[in-house]
Structure formats: C-alpha cells, structure tokens
Amino acid sequence: MSEKCDVLIVGCGAAGLYTALSLPENLNVTVLSKKDDTVSNSSLAQGGVAAVLSFENDSFDLHIEDTMIAGQRCNDIDAVTTLVHEGPDQVRKIMEYGVDFDKNEDGTLQKTLEGGHSRRRIVHHKDTTGAEIVDKLLAQAAERKNIKILENRAVFKLTCVKNGIRANVLTGDGQEEYCAAYCVLATGGIGRVYKYTTNPCVATGDGIRLAYELGAQIKNLSYVQFHPTAFNSDGREQFLISEAVRGEGAYLLNCNKERFMQRYDERLELAPRDVVSKAIIIESRRTGSNNFYLDITHRDRDYLLNRFPGIYEGCLKYGVDITKDLIPVFPCQHYLMGGIAVDLNSRTTVSRLYAVGECSNTGVHGKNRLASNSLLEALVFGRRCAEDISNCVKAGMPAPDDFSDHPVSLDGAPMMKGLRTEIRSIMQRSYFVMPANADVVRMGFKRVSEILARLQNGKFRITPDYCEALSLATVAYIILKEVSEK
C-alpha cells in the first residue's frame, strides 16, 4: 500500500525543512532526502544570509536595487520585493529556532559584505552558516510530531492522481510509494551536470526532471551561476572560497600575482559573480594561464582563524595556509537561477505540485544571483508555499482516495557505462561561464539529445545511477536547447 501523507516534501535542505516547519501542525508531513539529511547545498553554505535587519545605513530599496543590478534587471520585481520585504522576519524566525548568527561584542549582529552588495547586510555563523541552519532546522523538525524525515529515499517518478500526487521512491533495497494531497519539490541544484562544481553528489537536478516529465513549465535553465573563486584542484567537488573572503578584503591576482579586476569593472573584486568569473576567463586568455589566486594574508592571523575557520581548515588540507599563502582559485559551476517555474506562492503549473529553493524559478535572481540571497529565497518562498497549502486545506480541497499499489518494474538491462562522464564533458565544453561558439553548442546539444532519447526509450534497470543519468541528461538537454536558441 502507498503510504499516505498530507504533504510530501522531496528534499531536506533549507527550503524543504523550512517549508515543513511552516506548515500547520495538523497536517502530516513527510520529508525525503536522497542521502543523509545533511548532504545538501544548504549544509555547505558558507557566506550567510542577506537581509535588511536594521534600517541604520540600509534600506529595502537598496537591497532590491543590488539584487536587480546583479540579476542584470532580468529579475521579477514582484518576487524581489517579496523576498526583500519578507526576508527579515524569516531570518528572525530561524533565530528563534536556535540559529546562532555571529555577534559583535555589544551583542548586535555581525554583518559582512559580499560581491554586489552596497551595504554590510549578510549575517553568518562563522563560515559555516548553512550547516548551522540545517542542524537547527533538523532539531526543530525532530520535535514536531507531524513531521517525519526519511533518509536515503530517492524519488524517481511522480504521477498525478485524482486529488493528489503519487511518488515512487528507490530505497537501498527496493521501492516504496507515497501518496500525498500536495507535493513540494525542494531538490536543490544541478551542479553535477558539470565536471567541476561546488555542489555535493545529490545535486543532479532530479526535481527539475520530475517536474518536466509531469509537463510543468521549466524556465531559464541556462541561467547558471559560475562562482569565480573555488579552490583550484582536480577534484570533482570543488571547495568554495566564499565571497566573504573578498568582502573582508582579499585581492584577486592573476598568474603574475598582479591585481587585474581594474581592467574589467570599477567594483573590482566585489563586482557580482558573473562579472568576476568572466573577467577571470578573459584574463586567462590574455595571460595564457589558468593560475589565479586570492590573497588575504594582509589580514590579522587571529581574525582569519576566527572568521574563516572552515575555509582555513579546508585549504590546509591542500597544504595552503591562508594566513601566509596565496589561495589558488578558478571559476566552477555553483548555482542555478532558473528552474521549475513558480508563482509567488511557489505553485508550479501542475496542480498540487509546488517547488521551493534552488530547483525553483521564482524570478528573484534574474540572470545572476546576488550573493547570499538564495538561503533567503528558500526561507521566504518556503513559508509562502506552506501558507498556500494551508489555505487550500482550509478551503476544503479534497484529499486523494486511491492508495492502491502502483509499483514500477525496476527490471531491465544495465545502463551503459560512461554516459554521466560524457554529459559532464559536453557541458563543460559547451557552456562554461560563457557559451562556446555556436558549432560546439550545436554539437553538444545533438549528442545530449541522443543520450536522453536512449535513456528514455531503452528498457534499463531502474537504479539510482540510471535515475540520476536521466536527470542529468534532461537538465543538459534543456540548458543547451535554450543556449542554442539564443
């Protein structure tokens, strides 16, 4: 029998957890995570949360304007206004849940600066803000009788049923089914479609693929953010050197150990991410070298150890002491601005299907996300999603009544090896920071279309590997289609 719940939330990062906590306690809520409940983009967030928490030297209008400038004014102004106006209350709410943001000696909140912000407005927990938020939200959820969190459950198929949505889920040793009146996709990013990304293994775009298969509108998937300063290593998952390091004064240097941002933008190291990433790529062509560095050695050692303990430890693992050494950096995939199209209440174009957080496209970020606006987006639109569901329940929307089994046959041929690697190479070649020339994009799109058709039409065994390959192929297909049509 399918397990029944009022609300099924697919994803256990900041967006999924905050949505669950914002739902009324008379609704049964099940939250699923593909791996352990702390493996998510949310847990890795370093910099912090941007919000206007006091009007001394800051204003909603300034935060809105900074967000619009970073987004190249392709943002949805209603979504941005909602984000900025409703954000501070959500930040205060997570503080009530126990999130401990760093304070000054006088007890006021410490605020940092990141690229594109005209004011210090980013609150943080050292450089491990995301882990602090996820830990406290998980602890809060554990106290709620109506919330059940289940780990190692990968949703691989959604079906619209009468008055609800059914989810087929892979577990370690078989499959389960859930039937819910409302389903919220909170599956995070798509980083793993690239060869180099800051995102963890769960970021394969599953939610986008599931929504796409249901016919939901997917919007601006080619709006991909490349972070300019990931630690330059051969690893697939790149260690991020937060923008807050530049916010606190780090210089960006080229292979000759010279600052160069003055050639590209008057905001220098604190220009928005897309500008700095592009500057690095153009500078690398000019100098013929991919060697770039961050230099924060001019700041006091004790200050750095206290302010950036995670980055200090992370770099030390690669033999780099940030208090004395230059940090080697290079851009890599980091964030997705586009996603499943939603309205201001997080509704997708499919009835009873919602999307929140990084997998959604609220229009808040436009073409380029302003630093530290995404955790805020997860909170603001997670709460709005919960409120909308609550209103639908109050209005007497009927619940599903069919809980019979509809298992999907998992049997089939093993999937060919190497497809995921091939997709990543195509994406890295066709669209990294800037689109490659039209021929390369066209060839990439053609090959990705072939891979997708093969995965969709072949009778393959349904495994986590197959499902993720299907998600990556779907995401790559939509991105390159958009890029080739521009």
Ligand X SMILES: Cc1cc2nc3c(=O)[nH]c(=O)nc-3n(C[C@H](O)[C@H](O)[C@H](O)COP(=O)(O)OP(=O)(O)OC[C@H]3O[C@@H](n4cnc5c(N)ncnc54)[C@H](O)[C@@H]3O)c2cc1C
7 binding ligand X? (CB under 6 A):
no
SS3 of the chain: CCEEEEEEEECCCHHHHHHHHHCCCCCCEEEECCCCCCCCHHHHCCCCEECCCCCCCCCHHHHHHHHHHHCCCCCCHHHHHHHHHHHHHHHHHHHHCCCCCCECCCCCECCECCCCCCCCCEECCCCCHHHHHHHHHHHHHHCCCCEEEECCCEEEEEEEECCEEEEEEEECCEEEEEEEEEEEECCCCCHHHCCCECCCCCCCCHHHHHHHHCCCCEECCCCEEEEEEEECCCCCECCECCHHHHHCCCEEECCCCCECHHHCCCCHHHCCHHHHHHHHHHHHHHHCCCCEEEECCCCCHHHHHHHCHHHHHHHHCCCCCCCCCCEEEEEEEEEECCEEECCCCCECCCCCEEECHHHEECCCCCCCCCCCCHHHHHHHHHHHHHHHHHHHHHCCCCCCCCCCCCCCCCCCECCCCCHHHHHHHHHHHHEECEECCHHHHHHHHHHHHHHHHHHHHCCECCCHHHHHHHHHHHHHHHHHHHHHHC
- Residue selected from 2, 28, 42, 75 as contacting ligand X according to rule CB under 6 A: 42
Of 270 and 378, CB closest to ligand X: 378
Q: Pick the closer one to ligand X by CB: 75 or 199.
A: 199
CB of 35 or CB of 93, closer to ligand X: 35
Q: Is 90 in the site for ligand X (CB under 6 A)?
A: no
Cβ proximity to ligand X: between 35 and 447 the closer is 35
Told to check if 272 binds ligand X by CB under 6 A, we report: no
Q: Does 304 bind ligand X (CB under 6 A)?
A: no
Nearer to ligand X, 129 or 277 (CB): 129
Query: Looking only at residues 233 through 262 of this chain, which bind ligand X when binding is defined by CB under 6 A?
Result: 240
The stretch among 61-69, 100-108, 174-182, 197-205 that binds ligand X (CB under 6 A) is: 197-205
Position among 372, 430, 474, 484 found at the interface with ligand X (CB under 6 A): 372
Binding of ligand X by 34 (CB under 6 A)? yes
Nearer to ligand X, 35 or 236 (CB): 35
* Binding residue (CB under 6 A) for ligand X from 4, 9, 20, 47: 47
Q: Is 273 a catalytic residue?
A: yes
Q: Of 153, 209, 246, 273, which is the active-site residue?
A: 273
| Binding letters toward ligand X, positions 373-392, x by CB under 6 A | xxx--x--------------
The residues in 91-130 that bind ligand X, with binding defined as CB under 6 A, are: 129-130
Q: Does 331 bind ligand X (CB under 6 A)?
A: no
User: Residue 169 Cβ, how far from ligand X at the closest point, in Å?
Assistant: 7
Name the minimum Å distance from CB 258 to ligand X: 28
What does the binding site for ligand X look like in residue numbers (CB under 6 A)? 10-16, 32-35, 39-42, 44-49, 129-130, 153-155, 186-189, 198-199, 202, 206, 240, 335, 357-358, 372-375, 378
Q: Which residues belong to the active site?
A: 273
